[in-house]
Amino acid sequence: MHVTRSLPARFSFCVAVSSWLTVIGCRDTPPPAAPEPTKPEIARDAAGGDVIAAAAEAILRNGCASPDAVAPVPTWRSSAAPPFDVAIYTAHPDDEAMYAGGTMARLAAAQRRVAFVSMSHGEGGRLLERAADGGVEERRDYPRSHVVLVRDREVADAAARVGVTHAHLYPADANVDDAYTTSCSDALAHWQATLPGGLADALARLVADVRTRRPRVVVTLDPRDDPQASHHGHHKAVGVLAEAAARLAADARAVARGQPHVVEEVLSMAPRDVTADVVVPVDATKRVSMLEAYGSQFTREGLAVDPIAQRSVESFVVRWRAREAPISPERATLLALMSVSR
């Protein structure tokens, strides 16, 4: 491992890990969320009020703005060996494959324990089917129960292909995958109005999942956009919620299943026009193999010419690190270090 220069507490990401990893976007300032907020809104009840409900209210007010208004970056503390190294949170099955499938395959090959969690079952989408003439038909007339059956079978296959674990955050009848929008704020407002328990329940589920899996690293979608520049509001909104949950999971006042857990590092899948902190060279065939499991969403001929599916790297932005986390003397990102074969 090579480091271009010594990095103090206010570090710069100018690191190369082995011959296959390049960390770019060198900075002399820490990741965006690093400064300690002077008065986070969830601290309104120092005696221990409903911090998750308060965080949900702050998210509704702030939308996709800085998470510092929702919860502070936690301070690292040692704990028992976590059952998972990396947990990835996305909106729909297939998001994880398209945006981080190669990295997941690399992590699994390095004997790292990886889980990805889909907020929905993809129940609101369409299915592709082969027509009698060999063409492809888009079907939106199937009942949701059939769509869910197909999509659940596909996501299980995709996870098995690279040796990772998968779960859904909500049951299919919660109808998370409703009301397509390009607005993060509209997606959050819709979930607040339609999900049982609103955003507070979504945060509590995410906090419980983080506490149960106890990952060292959380990866999620970026609140600004995704690597495809699809502008999907669900993608942006999940990024907001997952990042907030990773912070809240460390707060003993947050009432959710599991013991408090400090995530050491949170990264987002870099939007197309955003300079990445970590660029991981990957085997595109591993990503494509995962995507081929989603036969109701992609065709082989389409994947063969899709530049996102065929790209040879996957890019990430460091959203924050736990304060005082002893990640490594070299200060390389944990995701990068974990991707190196043991």
Name the more confident of 286 and 18. 286
- Would you state the pLDDT for residue 39? 33
Domain of 139? Answer: 2-338
On the question of pLDDT at 99 being above 60, the answer is yes
On the question of pLDDT at 177 being above 50, the answer is yes
- Would you state the pLDDT for residue 338? 83
- Would you state the pLDDT for residue 41? 36
On the question of pLDDT at 36 being above 80, the answer is no
Residues 12-27 have a mean pLDDT of: 39
DSSP collapsed to 3 states, the chain: CEECCCCCCCCCCCEEECCCEECCCCCCCCCCCCCCCCCCHHHHCCCCCCHHHHHHHHHHHHCCCCHHHCCCCCECCCCCCCCCCEEEEECCCCHHHHHHHHHHHHHHHCCCCEEEEECCCCCCCCEEEECCCCCEEEECCCCHHHHHHHHHHHHHHHHHHHCCEEEECCCHHHCCCCCCCCCHHHHHHHHHHHCCCHHHHHHHHHHHHHHHHCCCEEEECCCCCCCCCCCCHHHHHHHHHHHHHHHHCCCCCCCCCCCCCCCCEEEEECCCCCCCCEEEECCHHHHHHHHHHCCCCCCHHHHHCCHHHHCCEEEEEEEEECECCCCCCCCCCHHHHHCCCC
Predicted confidence (pLDDT) per residue in 295-310, tens digit: 999 999 999 999 999 9
- What CATH number is given to the structural domain containing 129? 3.40.50.10320
On the question of pLDDT at 336 being above 90, the answer is no
Most confident of 27-41, 67-81, 175-189: 175-189
Predicted confidence (pLDDT) per residue in 237-266, tens digit: 999 999 999 999 999 999 999 999 999 999
On the question of pLDDT at 25 being above 80, the answer is no
Predicted confidence (pLDDT) per residue in 136-147, tens digit: 999 999 999 999
Share the mean pLDDT of the chain.
Answer: 85
- How many domains are there within the chain? 1
On the question of pLDDT at 100 being above 60, the answer is yes
Residues 303-332 have a mean pLDDT of: 87
Confidence of residue 50 (pLDDT cuts 50, 70, 90): confident
